[in-house]
Amino acid sequence: GRGLGETVRWMLAATNTSFEAVHLSEHAEFVALRDGGKLAFGQLPLLEIDGLLLTQRIAMIQYLARRGNLWGVDPVEEARCTMAAGCVMDMFGPVMRRAFSMKGGAPEKQCSDEVQASFDKFAPRLEQFAADFGSAGHMVGKAMTYTDVMVAEAVVAIEEVVPKCFDAAPKMREIADKVLALPSVKEYLASDKRWGIPDGAYVDNVNTVLGR
């Protein structure tokens, strides 16, 4: 499923980096990676690139950003990108938890309301941040950064749960539209590498792989 690796796949697409998506289905596969020394902290996802074994989502995202010139132009922009990225991840949290909550018995409306509440809390702050430190179609500075890619992923995923909510956040909508217009991103989203909305089967797969 999408999981924590989905933002990494968006980044690979946005930087036009060819990749093979490998998805696990058995606990033994996870154990082999962990015990084989490929998972520095015993956690997924894993990105193998340039002879490196990268874990921790933010490390993968920022490595790809530097590698693909989606990084800020100076230390100030880099710091602002990191700030905005952290807020986007906070806003995105209820979407990441939604399938697990519903599998645990939480009503769908309750989970959707949590997504809406998170949007209501963070979207105005991100809109103001873009107004203060960005430009047309960019969260920070005058060129595309990895934070823009994260915004685009968030817009798509949150609106799968709460349709059209970003009509109230036009700056982020504009940012997302720029990223979604990239041919490599269009190709990824239309490919079989792109998983559907996380559901109960996704939760079962995660629990099986992690041996829960």
User: Could you give the dihedral angle defined by the CA atoms of residues 99, 119, 87 and 182, in that order, rounded to the nearest 10 degrees?
Assistant: 80
Q: For residue 55, what is the enclosing H or E element? A: strand 52-55
Q: What is the pLDDT of residues 114-161, one digit of tens each?
A: 999 999 999 999 999 999 999 999 999 999 999 999 999 999 999 999
User: Given pLDDT bands bounded at 50, 70 and 90, which one contains residue 104?
Assistant: very high
User: Given pLDDT bands bounded at 50, 70 and 90, which one contains residue 75?
Assistant: very high
Report the distance separating Cα 90 and Cα 70, nearest Å.
Answer: 21
Q: What is the reported pTM?
A: 0.95
Residue 30's alpha-carbon distances to 25, 33, 90, 159, in angstroms, are 9, 5, 27, 32
Give SS3 for 48.
strand
